[in-house]
Structure 1
Amino acid sequence: MNSFDEILDGMRLQHALYACFQLRAPWGISFDTGEYARLLIVSKGACYLTGEQRADPVLLEADTCMLVQPGVQFSLCDGKEGPLVSCETLARYPHAEPIIHGGDGALTEIVTARFAFNKLAAEPLFSALGPLVHTRLRAEDAVAIKSILHVLQTEAQSRDYGTQLINARLVDVMFIQVLRALSHCASLGAGLLAGIRDPRMAPVLQAVHQQIARPWSVEEMGALIGLSRSTFSALFKAAVGQAPLAYLTAWRIYKAKLLLAAGSQTIGQIAAQVGYDNESSLSRAFSRLEGVSPGVWRQRHRAGT
């Protein structure tokens, strides 16, 4: 399993719900993601994005996709000033028929889905993306996503057996397709997605993730792709945004948190699995990054604090 798939598998998308808005100017909708993440696709027409600390509205044209993390407020509108209606007022999930709103002007169609997920498992991915990210789809991504949208819309209107389950699975697939599209976004900057997409860094990340307990050195990482220590370090940091050993430590602590949250293994057992000689070594590294010891972190996680 590659790095991207490993994170997605751990996220365990849940409660995925879908709606299609058919909007005619003038119109405006406000969104508050609350505890859910949300993806949106402008499938027809265009609109303007405001909010989330943006000084000026951003034009979103047809075939633009957007991924929004929980706890983010933003608005979409046709560009004219006017009252905003909340998404929750318009959409009562699940919603089989398209939601029609606005006046009698130009048409914009927006497909949106919201979903819950394992936030701990998603940390590396969502920290690389930021609270709200959008990009214009490449031609091949647009074709793939539009085919999913077609099936979603057909299923939503069929009301046949299993429609809700099928739509939930299709939203999962659409989410993965949107992530693929966002990984090509030029403005994404350094991070895990950029590293996975980098043909030189991808095999290194794959090896580090698969052999997390190995006592890696920077020289060994660079040797995997035939680069010197200094050249590799510079290229890795440019792509991933962290020095190689800093990234390795962060990934080990991430995996340690997953193990702490998942079961009753001792901290010593977890330390051995993620590349530390003993409990004390893990505790020191863990405390530096998380501010608390592994034991305290586990107690707080179980208590939901």
Structure 2
Amino acid sequence: MQRPSAGHDQVTEATDRAAKTPWNPSLPDPFDSALRRLRLEGAIFLRAEYREPWAYESLSGPATAAILRPGTERVVLFHLVSSGTCWVQVGEQEKHWAAAGDVIVLPYGDQHTMGGVGASEVVPLLTFLEPPPWNTMPLLRHGRDGAQTDVVCGYLHSDDVLFDPALRVFPPAFVVRPEGTTGAGWVRANIDFALAQADASPLGPDAINTRLPEMLLVEVLRQHLATAPAADHGWLAALHDPILNPALSAIHTAPERKWTVSDLARVAVVSRSGLDERFRQVLGRSPIRYLTEWRMHLAEDLLTSTDLGVAAIARRVGYDAEEAFSRAFKRHSGAPPAQWRVQHPLRASGMADPSAGVAPE
């Protein structure tokens, strides 16, 4: 088996009026200001050394939140891959691959599985994780005697609408690579600092006086959201809009459904004309155009971080016919999906023919 490398979310060209970030990509003002207003609390809470072959299943979302932040029902999880290669999967959905320098984000803290390149039995996390309280930062070791993958894990909590599971602004899991050497160096330096502080602290990871997790997540979200539709309009405002919120929730939760304006209007409890007018006022496009752009946004994510074939991706985003999906994708991205995947600079290697409808064996 050829060892796969990671695929990643990409950032479009920045607009001139956007504020700069530590990684140097930028976003239009509505995104930047909204991300700067995010109220986040969290910490780096463990390190892991996994040796091939290995795989495990996490606790449920509520159980994870109860351990990391008692009194809450969900937390945002992230895994920074320091070395090696691994995958993450939520439920029966596709596997997302990540390599050294990548950040894996589980925005809703869903139960998930992680594993390495080789085939392995999936074991429960608690078989090798000592339950808290922790006096020092936990170090997890799991697997056999093969190649090692090192991961630093953290969590954050926020009540912001961005992390409302009903809206599904984000996929259940996604992978981002910091842009360029500056981005990678910024993340690496801060992670090294946090780990050094954790090792030196007699009170364990909760004593670390650093905003690293918050800064890390904001930058990762900034990079991921840069390709979302309506980035230069009131997309974030739409999430708070009483009419658009339920319609967006429906689209984000089930992009594969054959939505019509009438269907979405019924969900939002407004007339077809009222919904169309609201979309155009706040988002600058019709409901169907937004639906199409959101599907293309998801398709790009699937093409760059999974080994799903084009036909499978087409079905995942609401197209019965691969040809219709390819035409829509070309209009949106400038190239057919198979060609776009090949030309993508961070495209995963070791895949099956990207034009095929099945994943590799």
Structure 1 pair 105–162 and aligned structure 2 pair: CA distance change class (3 A): closer
What is the rounded CA distance, in whole Å, between the counterparts of 1:60 and 1:167 in structure 2?
28
Provide the TM-score with structure 1 as the length reference.
Answer: 0.55
Whether 2:175 is the aligned partner of 1:175: answer no
Q: 1: distance between equivalents of 2:82 and 2:217?
A: 15
Residue identity matched to 2:43: A
The answer to whether residue 177 in structure 2 is matched with residue 132 in structure 1 is no
* Aligned counterparts of 1:137 and 1:165: Cα–Cα separation in 2: 27
Offset, 1:158 = 0.6
Structure-2 residue corresponding to 1:45: 84
SS at match of 1:41: strand
Is 1:26–2:49 an aligned residue pair?
no
Residue of structure 1 equivalent to 2:100: 62
- The structural deviation recorded for 1:27 is 1.7
Q: Which secondary structure state, in structure 1, belongs to the residue aligned with residue 161 of structure 2? A: coil
One-letter identity of the residue aligned with 1:19: L
- Which residue in 2 is equivalent to 1:13? 40
The CA deviation at 1:97 is 4.7
**Who is 1:83 aligned against?**
122
Q: Contact 2:82/2:152 (CA < 8 Å) preserved in 1?
A: yes
Instruction: Tell me the secondary structure at the aligned position of residue 169 of structure 2.
Output: helix
- The answer (yes or no) to whether the contact 1:14–1:117 under 8 Å persists in 2 is yes
Percent of aligned pairs with the same amino acid: 19
Q: Which has the larger radius of gyration?
A: 1
**How far apart in 1 are the matches of 2:162 and 2:86?**
33
- Give the total of aligned pairs: 201
Quick one: structure 1 residues 67 and 244, their matched pair in 2 at CA, closer, same or farther if it must change by over 3 Å?
Answer: farther
**d(CA) in 2 for partners of 1:122, 1:36:** 9
Q: How does 1:1-305 map to 2 (within 5 A)?
A: 2-8=29-35, 10-31=37-58, 32-34=60-62, 35-55=74-94, 57-70=95-108, 72-78=110-116, 79-86=118-125, 90=129, 92=131, 95-120=136-161, 122-123=163-164, 127-139=168-180, 140-159=182-201, 164-166=206-208, 169-183=211-225, 188-190=227-229, 195=231, 201=232, 243-247=279-283
Q: After superposition, what is the alpha-carbon deviation per residue over 1:17-73, rounded to whole angstroms, capped at 9, x for unaligned?
A: 421111112221222333111111211000122333325x44322222121122522
* Distance in 2 (alpha carbons) for counterparts of 1:182 and 1:87: 31
In structure 1, what is the Cα distance between the partners aligned to 2:127 and 2:108? 15
Which has the higher mean CA deviation after the structures are superposed, 10-19 or 64-73? 10-19
Residues 137 and 204 in structure 2, CA contact (< 8 A), matched pair in contact too = no
Q: Shift of the alpha carbon at 1:80?
A: 1.3
- In structure 2, relative to structure 1, the CA distance for the partners of 1:81 and 1:99 (3 Å cut) is closer
Q: Which runs of 5+ in 1 are unaligned?
A: 196-200, 213-241, 249-305
The alpha-carbon deviation at position 161 of structure 1 amounts to 7.5
- Name 1:277's counterpart in structure 2: none
Comparing 153-162 with 104-113, which one deviates more in the overlay?
153-162
Q: Label 1:65 to 1:47 Cα distance change in 2 as closer, same or farther (>3 A).
A: same
In the alignment, the residues of structure 2 paired with residue 71 and residue 122 of structure 1 have an alpha-carbon distance, to the nearest angstrom, of 10
Offset, 1:154: 0.5
Larger strand fraction of residues: 1
Which residue identity lines up with residue 18 of structure 1 in the other structure? F
Q: Using the alignment, how far apart are the partners of 2:282 and 2:201 within structure 1?
A: 51
The answer to whether the 8 Å contact 1:33/1:68 transfers is no
For 2:177 and 2:41, the matched residues in 1 are separated by 26
**Contact 1:18/1:167 (CA < 8 Å) preserved in 2?**
no
Partner of 2:255: none
> Could you tell me how far apart the structure 2 residues matched to 1:162 and 1:110 are?
18
| Further displaced range: 24-33 or 3-12 | 3-12
Paired AA for residue 247 in structure 1: L
Closer, same or farther in 2 for the Cα pair 1:51/1:70, shift >3 Å? closer
Unaligned runs of 5+ in 2: 1-18, 20-28, 63-73, 242-277, 285-361
Distance 2:221 2:82 in 1: 17
Secondary structure in 2 aligned to 1:90? coil
Of Structure 1 and Structure 2, the greater helix share is in 1
TM-score by length of 2: 0.47
Write the distance in 2 (CA, Å) between the matches of 1:189 and 1:91: 39
User: CA contact under 8 A between 1:141 and 1:181: conserved in structure 2?
Assistant: no
User: CA 1:122–1:54 in 2, change beyond 3 Å: closer, same or farther?
Assistant: closer
Change (3 A) 1:8 1:135: closer
What amino acid is aligned across from residue 104 of structure 2 in structure 1?
A: M
- Alignment root-mean-square deviation, CA: 3.5
